[in-house]
């Protein structure tokens, strides 16, 4: 091991700094592959990790830690899967987001388009355990199944929960095989506790990559760019379905909700596994798109339907990306360090005022990723990754019942309308959900979502109704065989060769756990893990580990999941030419870019379309926290000078 260390590390090793036990023995082989500078940077990060303090450092140091960590992940956690074709195109001719995501990467027209491979953040799992070890239904029943609903407190509401599904359906979905697999719990001792003793589902399609590492991969049926495909579709056919072809606008009903076809399936960019909260967000952003078209037509009367559509799509997609970056994520990871980090991603260290005044003049750290002169993919063509999909398995955000509020009654001082009824979530899914939403109406639904806390990402909180779920085909039609989602999710990660928890951590340069108490200080969790996995940390499933991990204060997700976000959230912006080279007046129009610059939060979008709503019903600061909770208290200490959160 020592022999393959770079020269600098030999010196450090000689001085005793890098030698075991300073670097965790299971990470030394990773350091051996690093350049001199990166080994040093790893040393810094690892030192902080050993103390377990990065989130408690003063904001500016915490941001520096994250910057170094992100750099290391960009160097060692981006693996391309499949080939590239090197076919270029005329970037001026394609100065818009194409229907299928082609023509974005500067030197290869297919990168990031529909049907390309998922990339990886680390090599496929080397686990010795098989697909059914331990049995996925036993894992689901003993560790995931909801005992009673655990909510997220005031931090995150049902809009926040629906928002992330809205994003997932913009970026990722795996192509399935035509061959089915059946999982049966019949001969397991837990079968009496399972809603489905046996169920069938389609395998993930395995496709030869044409390259040796890895030989097999899976395909993304959605465009991975942040291009709003959730409302615009993932190809020409999908785009045609949603457009009116008049003044650039998208189809929408009189009541402000999505239109439906003769089967009751919504007309929108993505209709698979939809529920009322999700299709409400689609409708809200169709309204946003159409309002942008109106604005553009007033200022640029010569623009025809196609031009209006293209500009409005760019602007709407950028508004969505911005809200996700500086509003949603800031609520998900509610600490000053992350507030600073996310604002740096969009505006840079010098902040909004400086950027509004001088433009993007000073590089990614000082002026942000958005507006960079050239996209950056760190030598690895853009895609979403298998690991990203796995860390976003957050179905425990969904509750058992949806709490409907009466917005006709006059509100109390805390702006909280009274409860009308609790609707089982099952009734809000698919076509039935669409019918319920039409009855409820857009405003009542939005206000009710605002006032309900969503579920916590933790063990024993997986929605019961999802363990017997009628999933959808890609066209939104119901499937014949219901599935146990909790079981299926455990199976999916294993089937796709995603590393189990401890290997996942090592590959992310994180210190692996060596006993259950390293993961959590909850005795019940420790006992349950021991019962299922014995004392074998290597066996622990990723999904279980992410849900069991003790959370950083203010974080609604685990630290392990967060480090994948750190990498991919930046990548979605910096690798996309429409957030970099082409984030300009020429491509977006001056008024279009102005629209993006002036929209900061989801509240701004809601206020635009429902001018009275937040004044009447919202007390908190962000539309993603529970609406009658207190606003974030003012803090007069400048953000970068603050101590730990």
Q: Does 548 bind ligand HEM (CB under 6 A)?
A: no
Q: Does 120 bind ligand HEM (CB under 6 A)?
A: no
The correct pick among 225, 392, 501, 583 for binding ligand HEM (CB under 6 A) is 392
Q: Does 163 bind ligand HEM (CB under 6 A)?
A: no
Number of residues that bind ligand HEM (CB under 6 A): 20
SS3 per-residue string spanning 447-514 = HHHHHCECECCCCCCECHHHHHECCECCCCCECCCCECHHHHHHHHHHHCCCCCHHHHHHHCCCCCCC
Residue 44 is inside which H or E element, if any?
helix 36-51
Nearest to 159 by CA among 375, 447, 356, 414: 447
Residues 169-188 that bind ligand HEM (CB under 6 A): 172-174
Q: Does 488 bind ligand HEM (CB under 6 A)?
A: yes
Which token pair is 234? 């993932």
The least distance separating ligand HEM from the CB of residue 94, rounded to whole angstroms, comes to 27
Residue 19 is inside which H or E element, if any?
none
The least distance separating ligand HEM from the CB of residue 139, rounded to whole angstroms, comes to 15
Between 143 and 394, CB nearer to ligand HEM: 394
Binding segment toward ligand HEM, per CB under 6 A, in 34-42, 322-330, 393-401, 633-641: 393-401
The least distance separating ligand HEM from the CB of residue 476, rounded to whole angstroms, comes to 11
My answer on whether omega of the bond before 498 falls inside 30° of 0, hence cis, is no
The correct pick among 311, 313, 395, 642 for binding ligand HEM (CB under 6 A) is 395
The correct pick among 59, 398, 486, 573 for binding ligand HEM (CB under 6 A) is 398
* In the block, residue with structure tokens 């990886």: 120
Q: Does 462 bind ligand HEM (CB under 6 A)?
A: no
Between 34 and 394, CB nearer to ligand HEM: 394
User: What are residue 423's phi and psi, to 5 degrees?
Assistant: -100, 125
- Other C-beta atoms closer than 10 Å to the C-beta of 481 total 14
CA distance 134 to 157: 34
Between 377 and 484, CB nearer to ligand HEM: 484
Binding segment toward ligand HEM, per CB under 6 A, in 109-117, 390-398, 441-449, 617-625: 390-398
Known binding site for heme b: residues? 395
Between 46 and 395, CB nearer to ligand HEM: 395
The correct pick among 81, 295, 389, 602 for binding ligand HEM (CB under 6 A) is 389
Residue 639 is inside which H or E element, if any?
none
The correct pick among 102, 125, 273, 580 for binding ligand HEM (CB under 6 A) is 273
Instruction: Identify whether the C-beta of residue 501 lies closer than 8 Å to the C-beta of residue 542.
Output: yes
The least distance separating ligand HEM from the CB of residue 395, rounded to whole angstroms, comes to 5
Q: Does 275 bind ligand HEM (CB under 6 A)?
A: yes
Q: Does 396 bind ligand HEM (CB under 6 A)?
A: no
The correct pick among 73, 105, 120, 393 for binding ligand HEM (CB under 6 A) is 393
Please state, in angstroms and as integers, the Cα–Cα distance from residue 494 to each residue in 12, 131, 558, 613, following that order: 39, 6, 20, 45
My answer on whether omega of the bond before 213 falls inside 30° of 0, hence cis, is no
Between 353 and 439, CB nearer to ligand HEM: 439
Dihedral angle at the C-alpha atoms of 550, 553, 557, 558, nearest 10 degrees?
-40
Which token pair is 45? 């990060």
Q: Which residues are catalytic?
A: 392
Q: Does 315 bind ligand HEM (CB under 6 A)?
A: no
Contacts (Cβ under 8 Å, ≥6 apart) of 573? 226, 321, 325, 345, 346, 369, 370, 579, 580
Contacts (Cβ under 8 Å, ≥6 apart) of 172? 118, 220, 222, 224, 384, 388, 389, 392
Q: Does 446 bind ligand HEM (CB under 6 A)?
A: no
Contacts (Cβ under 8 Å, ≥6 apart) of 610? 443, 446
Q: Does 384 bind ligand HEM (CB under 6 A)?
A: no
The correct pick among 79, 111, 183, 394 for binding ligand HEM (CB under 6 A) is 394
- Site residues (CB under 6 A) for ligand HEM? 161, 164-165, 168, 172-174, 273, 275, 389, 392-395, 397-398, 429, 471, 488, 492
């Amino acid at each position: 091991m020592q022999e393959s260390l770079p020269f600098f590390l030999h010196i450090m090793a000689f001085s005793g700094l890098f030698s075991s036990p300073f670097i965790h023995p299971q990470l030394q082989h990773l350091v051996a592959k690093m350049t001199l500078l990166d080994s040093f940077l790893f040393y810094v990060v690892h030192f902080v990790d050993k103390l377990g303090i990065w989130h408690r450092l003063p904001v500016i140091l915490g941001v520096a830690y994250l910057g170094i960590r992100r750099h290391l992940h960009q160097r060692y956690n981006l693996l391309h899967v499949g080939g590239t074709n090197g076919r270029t195109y005329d970037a001026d001719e394609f100065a818009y987001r194409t229907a299928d995501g082609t023509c974005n990467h500067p030197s290869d027209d297919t990168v990031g388009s529909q049907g390309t491979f998922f990339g990886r953040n680390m090599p496929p799992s080397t686990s010795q355990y098989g697909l059914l070890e331990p049995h996925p239904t036993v894992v689901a029943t003993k560790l995931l199944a909801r005992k009673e609903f655990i909510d997220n407190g005031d931090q995150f509401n049902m809009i926040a929960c629906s928002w992330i599904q809205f994003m997932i359906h913009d970026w990722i979905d795996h192509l399935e095989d035509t061959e089915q697999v059946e999982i049966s719990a019949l001969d397991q001792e837990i079968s009496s506790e399972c809603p489905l003793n046996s169920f069938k589902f389609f395998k993930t399609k395995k496709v030869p990559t044409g390259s040796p590492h890895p030989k097999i991969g899976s395909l993304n049926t959605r465009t991975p760019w942040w291009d709003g495909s959730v409302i615009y579709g993932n190809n020409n056919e999908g785009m045609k379905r949603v457009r009116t072809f008049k003044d650039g606008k998208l189809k929408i009903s009189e009541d402000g909700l999505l239109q439906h076809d003769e089967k009751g399936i919504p007309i929108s960019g993505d209709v698979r596994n939809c529920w009322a909260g999700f299709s409400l967000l689609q409708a809200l952003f169709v309204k946003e798109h159409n309002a942008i078209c109106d604005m553009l037509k007033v200022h640029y009367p010569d623009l025809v339907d196609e031009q209006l559509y293209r500009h409005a799509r760019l602007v709407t997609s950028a508004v969505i990306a911005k809200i996700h970056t500086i509003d949603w994520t800031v609520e998900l990871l509610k600490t000053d360090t992350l507030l600073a980090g996310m604002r740096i991603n969009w505006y840079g260290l010098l902040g909004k005022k400086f950027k509004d005044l001088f433009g993007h003049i000073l590089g990614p750290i000082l002026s942000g990723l958005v507006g960079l002169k050239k996209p950056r993919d760190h030598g690895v063509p853009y895609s979403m990754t298998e690991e990203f999909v796995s860390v976003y398995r957050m179905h425990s955000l969904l509750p058992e019942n949806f709490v409907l509020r009466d917005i006709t009654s006059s509100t109390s001082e805390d702006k909280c309308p009274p409860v009308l009824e609790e609707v089982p979530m099952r009734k809000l899914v698919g076509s039935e959900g669409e019918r319920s939403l039409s009855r409820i109406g857009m405003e009542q639904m939005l206000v009710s979502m605002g006032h309900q806390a969503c579920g916590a990402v933790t063990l024993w909180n997986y929605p019961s109704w999802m363990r017997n779920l009628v999933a959808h085909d890609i066209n939104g039609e119901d499937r014949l065989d219901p599935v146990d989602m909790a079981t299926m999710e455990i199976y999916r990660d294993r089937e796709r060769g995603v590393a189990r928890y401890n290997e996942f951590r090592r590959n992310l340069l994180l210190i692996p756990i060596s006993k259950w108490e390293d993961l959590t200080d909850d005795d019940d969790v420790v006992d349950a893990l021991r019962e299922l996995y014995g004392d074998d940390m290597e066996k622990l499933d990723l999904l279980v580990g992410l849900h069991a991990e003790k959370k950083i204060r203010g974080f609604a997700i685990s630290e392990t999941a967060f480090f994948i976000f750190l990498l991919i959230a930046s990548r979605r912006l910096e690798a996309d030419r429409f957030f970099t080279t082409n984030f300009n007046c020429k491509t977006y129009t001056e008024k279009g870019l102005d629209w993006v610059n002036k929209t900061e939060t989801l509240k701004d979008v809601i206020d635009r379309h429902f001018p009275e709503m937040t004044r009447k019903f919202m007390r908190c600061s962000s539309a993603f926290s529970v609406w009658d909770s207190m606003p974030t208290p003012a803090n007069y200490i400048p953000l970068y000078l603050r101590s730990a959160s």
